[in-house]
């Protein structure tokens, strides 16, 4: 069993060891779920929204497949509701405390502190509620470590006037990936921010002439880079997304949304999932017999907090 | 009827999936795992978590956190289960009911649209009406004082005690014609050539000098004051704020998962709603203001003639801008008021002394002019 992927022949070509992802969902079904969610949310004056959100996550997860078996989402509406209540209390108490201390301006500092907490805990919650073949994922990173990365990353970026941003993002990606587990097996990340530095600077220079469109190609490059440097079980992932493909996806989404005045949102979500998952595969041995269940506990407060900060969550 | 089905079994401890044969039995599933044991799963202990959509594998789980799982790819299994043990098959999805599900979804969609429209037209205004009385007057007064500090900065106010009393007397006369209110009405004049007047929460009415200059008779000024008074008495600013917040909550509930493009549309929708509620408040202030004038014995035609002056100054206002305006179209306002006057029995009115207006025109310090006009 090769533990170093440099032994596998052409990395770019899919060999017999390629394990594919795919997405089977349809915009129509998701739209149906959203409509029922809307109806139930209206008649319950908003309380149902937590259960509705779970339904959407369950659908998206159940329609995602790896090697012919679907993923599963195990979260519940009750967990989201409780997490939301806790998040409200935390935010509310902080704001009241700040107002009593007449330190209103510190609100931004407090929120800056909450962000890493929210990111880490949300990831921990979501991964713990996701499974494949019955085995749960988990995230075992600590908030303090992420906090340090955020501060150092922010400082480095500020000092270099933004040029070192890819390095900071790479540290972040390393933290998020290398503390993630599937069962008892850890994911690994061996990327280095310096590899993306030139591309980043080039894109900054090209921003103005291309009206910012060059960043789509950068984003595709980052996707490919992150995937390629994410390893699991003796193999590593590959993403075959191209800047052109991504641009086509985003442009198509925009047209769809404009024509339908936003109603095509469900179809956009499905298109995105199909695109990213369809271009992803794992190249390497998949020793399922060696992967054991090692589920970890987690609560949904971070998930709710991240909802307040409108943070994006992506798996992998 | 097929009773034996092919499946994969996951034991919840490792990621290996083992082929198994599942047999339908009266009260349980009999699962024979290849090269291993036979297990029985009573129907009551099984939860189906996947398999409601075409192409999705049927996933049956048994147990809590580290559940044992059965995966079947043929939905015929579900159909057979419903046929074989209908009494116990309630917890399992029935593929035959998919069409019904689509119909129910469409129904849910239609009802949702109706509910949203009803909420927008009636629900939110009703909610605001119900909640407004509970808002303490003290809150409104603080908010109003704040707003007035901005809109009518102390140094721009025209303070002339004698002429201010004329204004206050006029307000007192109008207030006497309406039921007693907890508000202390304070009228301020701002040295600004804008032809406008507004009511801030808590009883503050701000009149701009330009409006006093533009009024041709004291009845016109009284009409404007009556309109603004009604804004105060009916707590329109508080109601508008509540309506704005409710609309925002409705939008958030509708589209909690959307972002970006959708939220931009939501903002626009919320503003349109705000403008619509604002227009209805203006209409109410017009009508009730008119009734106040009549009850106070002042000729209501002043209100109409003032709007005519306003209309002349505005010029032609295209109809399609109606939805973007916080005020109803001026011509419509004039027509509505005229028909209201025609409907009301002729009331006893006493004309206001013309000195009222000429005196009030001097409430603000005179503009410095090239030729000095003697002032007394």
pLDDT digits (tens, 9 = 90+) for B289-327: 888 888 888 888 888 888 888 877 766 555 555 566 677
Evaluated on CA atoms B213, B219, B223, B229, the torsion sign reads positive
Strands A69-73 vs A230-232: parallel, antiparallel or unpaired: unpaired
Rounded to a whole number of angstroms, the distance from the CA of B113 to the nearest CA of chain A is 9
Is the pLDDT higher at A163 or at B376?
Answer: A163
Q: Is the CB of residue B64 less than 8 Å away from at least one CB of chain A?
A: no
CB contact under 8 A, B257 and A56: yes
> Closest Cα partner for A235 from A275, A303, A278, A182?
A182
pLDDT of A113 reads 81
Band of pLDDT at residue A5, cut at 50, 70 and 90: very low
Q: Is the CB of residue B55 less than 8 Å away from at least one CB of chain A?
A: yes
> Closest Cα partner for A218 from A206, A209, A231, A228?
A206
pLDDT of B236 reads 87
Report chain B residues whose CB lies below 8 A from the CB of A70. Answer: 50, 56-57, 59
pLDDT of B260 reads 46
Predicted confidence (pLDDT) at residue B369 exceeds the cutoff of 70: no
Q: How many CB atoms lie within 10 A of CB A197?
A: 16
pLDDT digits (tens, 9 = 90+) for A79-115: 888 888 888 888 888 878 877 777 667 777 777 788 8
pLDDT of A276 reads 93
Q: Is the CB of residue B153 less than 8 Å away from at least one CB of chain A?
A: no
* Mean predicted confidence (pLDDT) in B7-17: 89
Is the pLDDT higher at B266 or at A119?
Answer: A119
Q: Is the CB of residue B295 less than 8 Å away from at least one CB of chain A?
A: no
Q: Which two tokens stand for residue B260?
A: 């970006």
Predicted confidence (pLDDT) at residue A62 exceeds the cutoff of 90: yes
**B residues 68-127 closer than 8 Å to A (CB):** 68-69, 71, 101-102, 104-105, 108-109, 111-112, 115-116, 119
pLDDT of A30 reads 92
Q: What 3-state class would DSSP assign to A187?
A: strand
Residue among A63, A262, A293 whose CB faces B262 most closely: A262
pLDDT of A180 reads 94
CB contact under 8 A, A72 and B59: yes
Q: What is the percent of chain A where pLDDT is above 90?
A: 53
Residue among A38, A69, A136 whose CB faces B17 most closely: A69
Is the pLDDT higher at A302 or at B2?
Answer: B2
- Out of A134-138, A213-217, B71-75, B94-98, least confident range: B94-98
Rounded to a whole number of angstroms, the distance from the CA of B336 to the nearest CA of chain A is 36
Task: For an interface test with A, give the residue of B10, B11, B15, B251 to mutate (most A CBs within 10 A).
Answer: B15
pLDDT averaged over every residue in chain A: 85
Predicted confidence (pLDDT) at residue A22 exceeds the cutoff of 90: yes
* Mean predicted confidence (pLDDT) in A151-170: 92
pLDDT of B370 reads 43
Rounded to a whole number of angstroms, the distance from the CA of A38 to the nearest CA of chain B is 6
Is the pLDDT higher at B312 or at B33?
Answer: B33
pLDDT of A242 reads 94
Distance of CA B40 to the CA centre of its chain: 57
Predicted confidence (pLDDT) at residue B372 exceeds the cutoff of 60: no
Strands B204-208 vs B186-190: parallel, antiparallel or unpaired: parallel
Report chain B residues whose CB lies below 8 A from the CB of A132. Answer: 15
**CB burial class (10 A; 0-12, 13-18, 19+) of residue A297?**
exposed
Predicted confidence (pLDDT) at residue B251 exceeds the cutoff of 80: no
Is the pLDDT higher at A118 or at A302?
Answer: A118
pLDDT of B324 reads 63
* Mean predicted confidence (pLDDT) in B219-237: 88
CA distance A155 to A164: 10
CA distance A135 to A124: 15
CA distance B216 to B305: 9
CB contact under 8 A, B115 and A42: yes
Q: Is the CB of residue B12 less than 8 Å away from at least one CB of chain A?
A: yes
Kindly identify which residue of chain B lies nearest to residue A129, measuring between CA atoms. B65
Report chain B residues whose CB lies below 8 A from the CB of A69. Answer: 8, 17, 57, 71
Evaluated on CA atoms A110, A76, A175, A161, the torsion sign reads negative
- Out of A305-309, B61-65, B215-219, B338-342, least confident range: A305-309
Predicted confidence (pLDDT) at residue A199 exceeds the cutoff of 70: yes
Kindly identify which residue of chain B lies nearest to residue A70, measuring between CA atoms. B57
Report chain A residues whose CB lies below 8 A from the CB of B7. Answer: none
Q: How far is residue B162 from each of residues A197, B118, B166, B216, B363, measured CA to CA in Å?
A: 75, 52, 7, 21, 9
CA distance A245 to A274: 12
Rounded to a whole number of angstroms, the distance from the CA of B163 to the nearest CA of chain A is 43
> Closest Cα partner for B58 from A69, A27, A67?
A69
């Amino acid at each position: 069993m090769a533990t170093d992927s440099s032994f596998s022949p052409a990395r770019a070509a899919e060999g017999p060891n390629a394990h594919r992802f795919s997405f089977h969902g349809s915009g129509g079904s998701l739209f149906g779920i959203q409509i029922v969610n809307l109806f139930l949310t209206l008649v319950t004056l908003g309380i149902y929204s937590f259960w509705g959100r779970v339904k959407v996550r369950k659908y998206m997860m159940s329609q995602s497949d790896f090697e012919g078996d679907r993923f599963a989402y195990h979260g519940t509406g009750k967990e989201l509701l409780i997490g939301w209540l806790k998040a409200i209390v935390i935010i509310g108490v902080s704001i009241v405390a700040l107002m009593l201390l007449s330190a209103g301006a510190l609100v931004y500092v407090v929120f800056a502190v909450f962000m890493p907490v929210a990111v880490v805990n949300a990831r921990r919650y979501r991964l713990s509620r996701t499974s494949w073949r019955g085995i749960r994922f988990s995230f075992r990173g600590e908030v303090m470590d992420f906090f340090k990365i955020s501060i150092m990353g922010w400082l480095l970026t500020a000092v270099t006037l933004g040029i070192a941003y890819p390095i900071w993002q790479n540290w972040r990606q390393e933290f998020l990936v290398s503390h993630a587990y599937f069962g008892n097996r850890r994911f690994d990340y061996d990327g280095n921010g310096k590899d993306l530095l030139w591309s980043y600077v080039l894109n900054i220079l090209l921003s103005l002439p291309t009206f910012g469109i060059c960043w789509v190609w950068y984003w595709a490059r980052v996707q490919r880079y992150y995937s390629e440097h994410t390893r699991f079980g003796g193999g590593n992932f590959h993403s075959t997304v191209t800047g052109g493909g991504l641009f086509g996806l985003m442009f198509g989404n925009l047209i769809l949304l404009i024509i339908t005045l936003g109603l095509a949102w469900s179809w956009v979500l499905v298109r995105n999932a199909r695109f990213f998952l369809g271009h992803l595969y794992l190249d390497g041995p998949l020793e399922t017999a060696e992967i054991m269940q090692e589920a970890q506990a987690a609560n949904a407060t971070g998930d709710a907090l991240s909802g307040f900060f409108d943070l994006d969550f992506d798996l992998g | 009827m097929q009773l034996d089905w092919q499946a994969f079994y996951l034991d919840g401890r490792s990621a290996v999936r083992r082929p198994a044969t599942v047999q339908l039995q009266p009260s349980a599933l009999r699962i024979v795992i290849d090269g291993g044991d036979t297990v029985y799963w009573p129907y009551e202990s099984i939860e189906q978590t996947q398999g409601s959509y075409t192409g999705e594998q049927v996933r049956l789980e048994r147990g809590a956190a580290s559940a044992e799982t059965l995966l079947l790819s043929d939905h015929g299994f579900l159909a057979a289960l419903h046929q074989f043990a209908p009494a116990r098959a309630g917890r399992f999805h029935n593929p035959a009911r998919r069409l019904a599900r689509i119909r129910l979804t469409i129904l849910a969609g239609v009802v949702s649209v109706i509910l949203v429209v009803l909420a927008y037209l009636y629900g939110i205004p009703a909610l605001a009406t119900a909640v407004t009385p509970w808002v303490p007057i003290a809150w409104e007064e603080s908010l109003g004082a704040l707003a007035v500090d901005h809109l009518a900065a102390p140094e721009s106010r025209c303070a002339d005690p004698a002429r201010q009393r004329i204004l206050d007397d006029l307000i007192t006369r109008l207030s006497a014609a309406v039921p007693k209110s907890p508000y202390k009405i304070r009228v301020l004049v701002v040295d600004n050539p804008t032809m406008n007047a507004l009511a801030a929460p808590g009883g503050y009415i701000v009149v701009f000098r330009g409006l006093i200059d533009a009024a041709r008779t004291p009845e016109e000024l009284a009409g404007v004051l009556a309109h603004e008074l009604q804004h105060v008495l009916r707590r329109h600013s508080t109601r508008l704020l509540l309506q704005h917040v409710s609309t925002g909550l409705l939008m958030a509930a509708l589209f909690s998962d959307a972002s970006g493009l959708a939220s931009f549309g939501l903002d626009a929708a919320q503003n349109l709603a705000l403008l619509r509620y604002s227009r209805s408040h203006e209409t109410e202030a017009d009508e009730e203001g008119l009734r106040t004038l009549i009850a106070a014995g002042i000729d209501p035609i002043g209100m109409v003639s003032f709007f005519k002056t306003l209309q002349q100054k505005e010029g032609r206002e295209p109809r399609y801008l109606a939805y973007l305006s916080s005020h109803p179209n001026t011509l419509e306002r004039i027509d509505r008021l005229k028909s209201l006057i025609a409907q009301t029995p002729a009331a006893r009115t006493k004309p206001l002394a013309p000195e009222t207006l000429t005196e009030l025109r001097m409430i603000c310090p005179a503009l410095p002019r090239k030729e000095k006009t003697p002032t007394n």
